[in-house]
Each structure stands twice: as C-alpha cells, then as structure tokens.
Amino acid sequence: MTEPTAAVRDRVLSLSPGELPAYVYDLTALRAHAAAVRARLPERVELYYAAKANPEPEILAALSSYVDGYEVASGGELVHVAKAVPGRPLAFGGPGKTPAEIVTALELGVRRFHVESEYELRMLAELARQVGPDGRIAVLPRFNLPVAGSSLAASSLAMGGRPSPFGLDPAQADTVMRLLTDGSCPHLELVGVHAHLASGLRAPEQLGLAESVVDWAVRLAERHGVRLAEVNVGGGMTVDYAASEERFDWAAYGAGLAELLARHPDLTLRIEPGRSLTAYCGWYATEVLDVKPSHGEEFAVVRGGTHHLRTPATKGHDQPCTLLRVEDWPHPWARPVAGGELVTLTGQLCTPKDVLARNVPAPALRAGDRVAFGLAGAYAWNISHHDFLMHPRPGFHFLGT
C-alpha cells in the first residue's frame, strides 16, 4: 500500500464525483523528497531532472531549488521546460533531433547537448557555426556501452550493450573523439561522456554501472590525450511498484559515488533521474462506479482508467492503491457491494487491457467508495492515450504550491 499523505486524502475526499478522476500532486512531499536526495549526493555530483518522467510546470518549478538543471529530450520539452523554469540550465538529449529543434535549442540558450550519433554531431557542429552562439557548446557524446552483470542485462528497460537506436556504438568512439578534438568542430567543446543504459536499477547495480562507465570514459580520454571534466551516468534509479514502500537507497548510492569521485579528483559526475524523483508525489484518485461478480471473481469499475494512468498496462503491474470508504450514498437505487475479499479494479474503457490493479484486498468495497492509486507522479498521465473513448479528462490538483 502507498498511503496518500493527509493533504492528498483530504483533497480526494472533498472532491465531488463530477470532479473525479483527479491527479493530486503533493508538492510539499516532492520538495522534501528532492531535498533528501540532494542531501545524500556528494558535492561533485550534479543532479538533472529528466523532464519526460513528468513535465507538469508545477512539478518542474517545485524541483527547481534542488536540481542543477533539466534534461529535455525533444523540441517540445525544450520549449516547455524553458518556459516553466526560465533561466535554468537545460541539457538537450534524445535520439532523432531535427535541425529545427537544434536551432531552437541554440537560440533558447541551451549550451549542453548529449549527442546521439556521428551524423548528429556533424549537424550540430554546422548549425552551431551558423547560429554563432556566444561561447562554445558543451558536448557529451552518448555511448551505448556494454552493461556488465546478468541482473543488469535482464532489466526490463535495459537499452545498453545490445543493438538499440540510443547513443553511439563504442566502435565509433575514436572517430567521434577525433572530430571533437582535431579542430573540425570549433564551436563545440568535448566536456565528457554520457551513458544512460537502463532503468529500474537498485543502488548496487547503479554504482556498478557508474563505475564501469567512468572507467571506460577515462580510458577513452587517455587514449586521445584529452581531459574529461564530466561523466553523465544517466537516470534509471528504480521505482518498485510491487514493493512501493521500498525506495531507492540514495544514501548508499551517494556514498558509493563519493568513493568513485575520490579516485577521480578532477571529475564531476552528473545523474539525470526521472521516475525516482517524482513517482511518489502523485496520486490518481477516483471513485468506484460499479461492483460485480464475474465467473468467480469480483470486479470494480472505477471512473477513469488506463487512458489516464497507462502505467500498469504498459508495465504489466498492479498499481498500488489505497481504498477510502465513503458512507454517503445519495441514490435511491441499491448500492452494489463486493461479496469476496479480493477485487480487480478496472476502468471505463471497452478493452480487457483496462486493468489498474488485480486482486486488491477490498472486502465489502462499494460503489461510491474512493480509490487513490499511488506512484502516479511519473510516466502516468503524460504517457497515457487520453482521447481513446472520449471520456472527460481528469482534474489536476497541486497541493503545497
């Protein structure tokens, strides 16, 4: 169970049925969490937030005091984040950057690019020459490095060490390093190496990964006689939907990074987590519309569904939830009640995929009771197929602004 904070619970119970479903974000809890993460990281670790996890302007602004900048991965995110947190440093990453997006980034003052291919490097070099920004553009080529260890390779979102459209093949490293150091890209400055290789890793695996990325980067730099100022080891710190009270061990991770930095006194590390920063601050709240048995199982249909919270359908998990009982029943018709102990919570879509959580312990769950799904602050609303079946959109509530 992921218990909603008191503020979230009060808000969920105060909304009328017509105001549900609703996304309720606790920004006070988000700030406290981000401050705790920051406090556990050593000084030479810079923290960027990967905006794609949740780009709500209120979320971006709430994180502003605790992060060093934001990683954006499209022209849309770029313009949106620049507007939401004006003046904050942005790093432009992601595959398939278009020439127009790169020009927009340069014009908006973005001075840090994670370069995904040799072609993109050549394009950026020429566009930087044409736009002629003040100063040089910091470039970190992103590499698709082999990931060591079987647990890592098995990670569901592993994107490193196997064929993928992300980053550069290590075999291209020498070509790219030469291009960046032989004077062919005068507006670009090689500041380091970037690698984001997997999502869903615990602290020990993340540390092993960081260590192997740094070792590889240091050897590459030595081979080319250049100094690397930075290594970006990406995001992907785990959020465990099956054990939602278990959090990524930031204390162990910070301590491990401090040891790694002690071995590399000139290096700055950068991380760019998304989900592990914002997942816990968001709830998707709704009410039970109907309860019924079907072939020996109980189902509760809730207002809304996976068109608002697609996460359980895409990841194949049960979204953690808390049931909030509501005694009022304003209707003259009988209130349906679950007969069994376990109830599967589904949405209003006409597809068997619209399941939010299976076999939730919910004895005597009734229509009109409320449900708050937790861990809905990342990859939730913004990855969902909102218009399928044309149900109304949820409300959005930001508590603690």
Ligand X SMILES: *Cc1c(COP(=O)(O)O)cnc(C)c1O
**Enzyme catalytic residues:** 350
Q: Which amino acid is at 320?
A: P
Q: Please give the Cα distance from 197 to 233 (Å, whole number).
A: 8
**Beta-ladder partners of 290:** 301
- Taking CB atoms, the residue at the shortest distance from ligand X is 274
Task: Give yes or no for residue 236 binding ligand X (CB under 6 A).
Answer: yes
Q: How far apart are CA 251 and CA 202, in angstroms?
A: 12
Is 318 among the residues that bind ligand X (CB under 6 A)?
no
Q: Is 112 in the site for ligand X (CB under 6 A)?
A: no
In terms of CB distance, is 72 or 180 closer to ligand X? 72
Stretch binding ligand X (CB under 6 A), from 14-22, 46-54, 84-92, 320-328: 46-54
DSSP bridge pairs for 360: 343
Q: What are phi and psi of 47, to 5 degrees?
A: -110, 115
Question: What is the C-alpha to C-alpha distance for residues 96 and 81, in angstroms, rounded to an integer?
Answer: 19
- With vertex at residue 32, the alpha carbon angle to CA 382 and CA 155, rounded to the nearest 5 degrees, is 50
Among candidate residues 7, 20, 27, 6, the one with its CA nearest the CA of residue 398: 27
Binding ligand X (rule: CB under 6 A), the pick from 34, 45, 50, 214 is 50
Q: Which is nearer to ligand X, 50 or 338 (CB)?
A: 50
Q: What is the CA radius of gyration of the chain?
A: 23
State the binding string over 243-282 for ligand X (x if CB under 6 A, else -): -----------------------------xxxxx------
Report the 10 Å Cβ neighbour count for 105: 27
The only residue of 69, 234, 304, 377 in contact with ligand X, by rule CB under 6 A: 234
9 vs 52 by CB, closer to ligand X: 52
Which is nearer to ligand X, 323 or 380 (by Cβ)? Answer: 380
SS3 at position 259:
helix
User: Does residue 377 interact with ligand X by CB under 6 A?
Assistant: no
- Closest CB to ligand X among residues 24, 50: 50
- Which of the ranges 48-56, 178-186, 311-319, 355-363 carries the binding residues for ligand X, by CB under 6 A? 48-56
How big is the site for ligand X, counted in residues (CB under 6 A)?
17
Q: Decide if 194 contacts 235 (C-beta within 8 A).
A: no
Binding region for ligand X (CB under 6 A): 50, 52-53, 71, 73, 93, 196, 199, 234-237, 272-276
